[in-house]
Structure 1
Amino acid sequence: MAMKISELEAHTGVGRHALRYYERQGLLGEVQRTTGNYRDYPESLVKQVQLLKSMQALGFSLTEIRQVLDGLRSSDIDCLDGARLLAEKRQRIEENIRNLREVSRTLHQEQKRLERRAQRHGKRLN
């Protein structure tokens, strides 16, 4: 089932201007048009746009995201190359997670230190 851009926007939380930009960049694959020349987005794009958004938030470039999305859409991708590509991306995500956990631990330690200091001065965190 296909959908209009407003429906894709509602399902993904990504604005139409961003969606059109992604389309111009080749990130959405081939988008069909109706006889009235409206874009007809496949329902499968919802998951792909959500993945795109997540990867972008993690700092992946649009080129890297395009590689992953093209690999997921391709039926003739070399499986070994595809597996390597996804393993590289997963490794980068795992590294980001480790870094975020370290930052979180540091922030937690500093928060506790400041709370103890505030308590010594008679203040409490609400």
Structure 2
Amino acid sequence: MRISELESRTGLGRHALRFYEREGLLVGVQRGQNNYRDYPESAARDAALLQQLQSLGFSLQEIRQVLDAMRAKSIDCAKGARLMADKRIAIEAQIANLRKVSKVLLREQQRLQERAARYGLPKE
């Protein structure tokens, strides 16, 4: 498939797709006689997985490890489980920090609402 089709199927722009190709995250890309890139079907699946893992906080190196293991059909389960556990711990720490920030924002919101009510200012 051409890059325009891959763009529409993945929602990624051509610059991102080419970057991922250069980084070795999208593989199997062929060049035709016209020098156009021809992406395999697997590129759409890999790009979707790549986006999901990035949104979960995985680094490009970690994503490369996952994709390489999937392509090799030989995932080291213990290593994979450790990677998932480490990411889950990091995400839980982020959630805890976000909860703290949320509490601070709620207190400030309440303080400002009380002040607005005291001075007869309209509520937003």
TM-score interval (norm. to shorter): 0.7 to 0.9
TM-score (norm 2): 0.75
Partner of 2:39: 40
Residue 103 to residue 76, structure 1, CA distance change in 2 (3 Å): same
Q: What do the CA deviations read for 1:66-102 (whole angstroms, capped 9, x no partner)?
A: 2344344441121111111122112212221221222
Query: Structure 2 counterpart of 1:91, which letter?
Result: I
Query: Structure 2 counterpart of 1:31, which letter?
Result: G
Structure 1 residue ranges without an equivalent (≥5): none
Specify the SS of the correspondent of 1:48: helix
**Following the alignment from structure 1 to structure 2, what is the Cα–Cα distance between the partners of residues 68 and 98?**
27
Partner of 1:109: 107
Deviation at 1:24, TM superposition (A): 0.8
Q: What do the CA deviations read for 1:8-67 (whole angstroms, capped 9, x no partner)?
A: 323333211012112211223x13326454231423124213214413xx4x43223323
Asked which structure has the greater CA Rg, the reply is 2
C-alpha RMSD of the superposition: 2.4
Structure 2 residue ranges without an equivalent (≥5): none
Q: How many residues align?
A: 120
| Bigger Cα displacement from structure 2, 103-112 vs 6-15 | 6-15
Contact 1:12 1:49 in 2 (8 A): no
| Bigger Cα displacement from structure 2, 93-102 vs 31-40 | 31-40
**Following the alignment from structure 1 to structure 2, what is the Cα–Cα distance between the partners of residues 73 and 95?**
31
Partner of 2:5: 7
Identity of aligned residues (%): 51
TM-score (norm 1): 0.74
**Residue 52 (structure 2) pairs with residue 51 (structure 1):** yes
